[in-house]
Structures are given as structure tokens and as C-alpha cells.
Structure 1
Amino acid sequence: MSVRAFFQVAKVENAASPYDTIHLKVFYPAQRSASPQEQDMGIVPADEGRSPFKVVIFFNGINCGPEIYQWLTVKLAECGLVVVTFAWVAQNLPGIVALTPGVELKNLAPNTYGTAPTASALPTLLAALERLQSEGVLAGLLDLDHIILGGHSAGGRVAIESADPRFFSQVVGAFAYGAHTAAIVQLGYPPNTILPLPDALPLMLIGGTCDGVIAKSSHRYGVDWEHATTPITRSFQEAIAGNRGDSYLLLLEGANHFSIAHPFDSTTGRPFLDFPATQPEEQLRNLIAEAINLFIDAHVRHQLKALETLNRYSVSDNPLIAAFERK
């Protein structure tokens, strides 16, 4: 099976021009047909035998181009998923133009947090998926009742904070790499506060023991983290009540903040804060992709074998697994 992708453009309601346009790249399982349309335009049909396709929407980190996650989106599409990445240049902060996952800052404030989603791009992306269901190579092939949110860094945070059926009934789970729910003191929170997650759907939090970006950003939260993974661990322990057996914490030995990025781009974002990775990068990426795929297969596709394999991480002798918890 091959993986193909196409591009789309969507307008964001209530966003001011010129910051009201999102560019999407949609990856899907494809099946070559040798049709004139394929030969002349490069439009390859979807592999309809694997449909309806469950959908992953992936939120990039701030100033992290979506192309650095393409290795992961291809691996997910190879497993029969449709995956959407996007690029949105906007002003999350007045006067600061950035490539953003879309962060609704007003919904992070103490008086509004938990009452509305923090992923400001999500309504636009969901509307774009509805259009794809009605026209083009994916028409009629999407399972829009099973959408998974995922992301990296700030994008991971808005993914896990917005995975709430009260906001979006079609979202069924979420995962994040290098993300946590520590509260920013500049928004009015007391130091060392961990904000709660919706805790209504399956969640997976993944982090690396060498995450220098998290370690060196602790001043934003009014605390010095004991370990680079402390806010991720605390988010799992304190922000999720659990008890359903579908929430996970996976810490990767030697992974850093950008172990999920390949090829690595040192020109944007804050990679200068990161610690060096101490384990082979390709092996770390393979484990990240494997864990995410198992999580989706276990809790969205309800495959018992995937659930059993995922749970064996807790007794694994894999040197790349620093910690694994489930609740």
C-alpha cells in the first residue's frame, strides 16, 4: 500500500486578514489505478478496501513546520488512517507572528479554563473534513465519528485539552508528545499549578527524559522542575482521574523535545533550549510511532491484540522505555 497526500485551504471564521487562512495537507492510504487522472494530474485514488478511514488531526508545535512530522503521518497512514497536518500563520500574542497550532488564550484563563476548547483551529479543521467527505478522492470514505487529536508541544497541549465530547462529539481520543498542563503564572494562576484535563476519553502522554525545552521553560509556571519530565508526569497523575484503563504515560529514555521531529529544523522554534538526545533518534521515532498506533488500535479500533501489546510496555526490557503507566 502507498501513502499519498493532497492540499486544501480553509478560512478561519472571526480571524482577521491576512491571518485567516489555514493550509492543510491530508495524508491517506492510496491504491494506484493507472487512470488518466492519476497519470496526468497525480491524483491517486484512496484504497477504498480499507475505508471508512478514521482520522487523526495533528497539531504542530509553535513555529514548527508540519513537514517535520511527515515521517509520523506517513507511518499512521500506512496503518490505514487519514492524517491531517496544517500550517497557520497568525498572531497568538499581539504583535508576534508565528506558525501556530492555534491556541485560544482566552480559554486558558482561570475563569474560563475547562469550559471551552483551547484548540482554536479545530472547528475550521472539522468543517474542512466535512467538505472532504462530500468531494474529492476521500468522498464518502471518512469515518467522521472517530476523530483522534494529536500534537507536539503547544499543539499537543491543545489536543489533549480539547478532547472533550462536550465540545466535539466526533472526537474519540487524543495523544501528545512533549506536552503538559502546567498553568502559566502570567495568566493569573498560582505557581506550580497543574490544570485538569477533560478526562472523558482515552489519552496518551509521551515525553522524553532529555526534554530541555520543558526543563528550561519552568519559570513560566513559577517553579523549577525537578526533572525534565516532571510536568508531564504530574499532568498524568493530577490532571487525569483515570480508573478506566485507557489513559497512558510513556516516558522515553534519552529522548528530547524534538525527538518527534524529522528532519530536524534548527531555524525556528526553540531548539536551542533542548538537551541532546542520548539514544538513537530513529529508534526513538519508531517507538513513538508504534506506541501511538497501538494506542489508536487498542482504544479507537478496539483491537484486543493491540491492547495486550501496549500493556506489555509496563514489563518491557526495552532500554528506550524509562517509564510506562496506565490508569
Structure 2
Amino acid sequence: MIVRGLHFSFDADGDAALGTLFYPGDDRRLDEARLTGQVPADDTDAPWPVVVLLPGINVAPDGYRWLAHRLVAEGLCVVTFAAIGSLGPAGRGITPGLDLAALAPDTIGTRPSSTALGPLLACLAELSADEHSPVAGQVDLDRVVVGGHSAGGTAALHNSDPSWVPGLQAVFAYAAHTMVATALGHGEAAVVPIPAKVPMLLLGGADDGVIAASRDRYRTDDGDHDPVRRTFAEAIHRQQGDSWLVELAGAGHFAICDPVDTTSGRSFLESDSATADPAIRELLGDLIAAFTAASLGRPSRANMEQLVDQSSVSHWERR
């Protein structure tokens, strides 16, 4: 098996988006792809559950390719994308696709806030239905896991309802929370609840310089600012023993990215973001793989109970 990427475009509610579906390729059939580069799927574990990775603001999806490789090795397919849309006062750039009107005080929690998930999953259904596609009939859209980083993680958290995301089985997020900016009309330091109708994994770094530097968006007081832990405590009311908070010692905002693109986004807020500890990244991959496997009822190399017992985990909770 080799990991291959199938590139496609889609319309994310008016924003142009480029996506890549990573899938297990059959390395015994490379001669068939000699002229086209389209390697037929290795259907050993097919049809594959789908993991959708929602990007952070101005974070190129290449930074998540390592994670796609890690999860494809578990018998999954993984889709990354970059939609180019409005970033508010910051102009335009890479966005995970958030309908900010759906996050206003009078509408939050009443309807989906993701503008990309619906069109993206519809496009994947077309790719799987196309008999000429290398992944024809191999994508299982009844088993979908949505994950994200930073603002992409926030989008994943807010849309953790299978009635909004068909096939949704679990949600994970790194360096994300549901403390809402006061510019959207919410009170200071307000953490809003989310549906959490599926298992949840909330991951954070103990040395997240971007979240620390962003506090002015949410509050003007000098109180403790730990929106990730508060999100697990106040926003996720699920009590079925399948949801986790895991904080990694020494990890920053971009620990989930390899490489870190220092030309865009806010990586300059963390002086060592481009040299994140590979061991932390490996643990992140193991945690996401183990959580995803457990949520889908599939085997994995390690389980969550074993992984959170490592010295690199500075804090964890389960409920």
C-alpha cells in the first residue's frame, strides 16, 4: 500500500476551494498509472471511513499531510482542503469556512456554522460514484470523522451534530475552543456550548502562544485565560465515557503542522514553532488515530488509556 492524493475543487458557499483526498493506493498496480499518475485504490480495507481535516486560518493544508499519511495507514481516507474566503478585518485568505452569522448570540447552536463541510462531502460522494475515479465505490460516507486545527477545530466543535453533518461519528480538535469573540455580540470570556452528539477529543498544547496572544478578542480583564480547558468543562456536556481532553507538555499552537509555513498565519507569535518536537507530533498522531479507531469500533496500535499515561501529557480528563 502507498498513500496517494486525488485533487479536486469545490464551491464552499461561494468560496473557491481546492481539496485533496488521500487514500491507500495499490502499489502492485503502478504500471497502470505509468501515463496518468492515477494509482488504483488498494481495496483491502475498503470502503474506508472518511476523516475531514479543517485548516486553521491561513494554514496551508500541506502542513497536515503527515497526519493524512498516518491515518491512511490505519485503513482510512483523509481529505484536506483550502478555501479562499473572507477573514473579516484581515482581508481574504485560507479559511475553514465559518458562517459567522450562525455564531451570533441569537442563532448560535440552532443551525450549522460550517460553509465547507456540506459541499465537501457532496463532492466526495461524486468522486466515489464516478466509475472512472481511482476511488470509485471505496469512500464510506456513512462513517465520517471531522477534525480541525485552530479555527478549523472550532468549526469542527460547533458542528458536532450528525443531523448537520451526515455520517458524523466523532470530532477532534487541536488548539481550538468555543470561547466566542466579543465582536460577534457575546459577553466577555463567554464559552458557548456545542452539540457534542458524538465522541469528542479536545487536544491542546501547554505552551500555546497564539491562544495566549488572542485573548483581546475575548476579554479585557486580567483573569486566567485557558479557553481549551474551559471548553471541555463548560461546552461539552456529553457524559458517555468516550470524550477526552488531552494537553501536551511543551506543545505550541502549530505542533500539529509539519512543515510549519512561516510565510503566512501567525506562527511568528511562537519563536520555536518551526522546530516543534517530532515526538510531540508523533504522540498527537497516535492520539488522533486511537480516538478515531475507538469511535469507529476499529482496532488500533494503541488505546487512549495507554497514550495519556505518557510523560508528554501534562493533563488529561475523560468523561
TM over 0.5: same fold?
yes
CA distance in 2, matches of 1:281, 1:48: 34
Deviations 1:157-207 (A, max 9, x none): 101111202212311111000000001111111111101011210110100
2:294 pairs with 1:298? yes
By how many angstroms is 1:35 displaced?
5.7
By how many angstroms is 1:42 displaced?
1.3
Aligned counterpart in structure 1 of residue 162 of structure 2, from 158, 161, 165 = 165
Q: Indicate the SS of the match to 1:41.
A: coil
CA distance in 2, matches of 1:287, 1:29: 22
Structure-1 residue corresponding to 2:212 = 215
Aligned counterpart in structure 1 of residue 316 of structure 2, from 309, 317, 324 = 324
2:110 pairs with 1:115? yes
With over 3 angstroms needed to count, the CA separation of the structure-2 counterparts of 1:225 and 1:31, relative to structure 1, is farther
With over 3 angstroms needed to count, the CA separation of the structure-2 counterparts of 1:144 and 1:221, relative to structure 1, is same
By how many angstroms is 1:77 displaced?
0.9
CA distance in 1, matches of 2:266, 2:30: 45
Aligned counterpart in structure 2 of residue 261 of structure 1, from 257, 261, 265 = 257
Aligned counterpart in structure 1 of residue 267 of structure 2, from 258, 271, 284 = 271
2:126 pairs with 1:131? yes
CA distance in 2, matches of 1:38, 1:186: 51
CA distance in 2, matches of 1:72, 1:170: 21
2:79 pairs with 1:81? no
Q: Indicate the SS of the match to 2:207.
A: coil
CA distance in 2, matches of 1:180, 1:65: 20
> Is the 1:89–1:97 contact (alpha carbons within 8 Å) kept by the matching residues of 2?
yes
Amino acid at match of 2:270: D
For residues 195-210 of structure 1, the aligned pairs below 5 Å read 195-210=192-207
Structure-1 residue corresponding to 2:153 = 156
Structure-2 residue corresponding to 1:309 = 303
CA RMSD of aligned residues (A): 2.0
CA distance in 1, matches of 2:222, 2:166: 37
Structure-2 residue corresponding to 1:231 = 227
Structure-2 residue corresponding to 1:66 = 61
With over 3 angstroms needed to count, the CA separation of the structure-2 counterparts of 1:12 and 1:199, relative to structure 1, is closer
Q: Indicate the SS of the match to 1:46.
A: coil
Q: Indicate the SS of the match to 2:44.
A: helix
**Corresponding residue pairs, total:** 316
Q: Indicate the SS of the match to 1:118.
A: coil
CA distance in 2, matches of 1:191, 1:7: 42
- Unaligned residue ranges in structure 2 (runs of 5+): none
2:179 pairs with 1:182? yes
For residues 275-286 of structure 1, the aligned pairs below 5 Å read 276=272, 281-286=277-282
CA distance in 2, matches of 1:184, 1:300: 33
Deviations 1:24-55 (A, max 9, x none): 11100111234654111111111111101000
CA distance in 1, matches of 2:8, 2:69: 18
> Is the 2:12–2:120 contact (alpha carbons within 8 Å) kept by the matching residues of 1?
no
2:248 pairs with 1:248? no
Identity across the alignment (%)? 37
With over 3 angstroms needed to count, the CA separation of the structure-2 counterparts of 1:36 and 1:159, relative to structure 1, is same
CA distance in 1, matches of 2:121, 2:29: 31
Structure-2 residue corresponding to 1:90 = 85
Question: TM-score, normalising length from structure 2?
Answer: 0.94
> Is the 2:49–2:139 contact (alpha carbons within 8 Å) kept by the matching residues of 1?
yes
With over 3 angstroms needed to count, the CA separation of the structure-2 counterparts of 1:236 and 1:43, relative to structure 1, is same
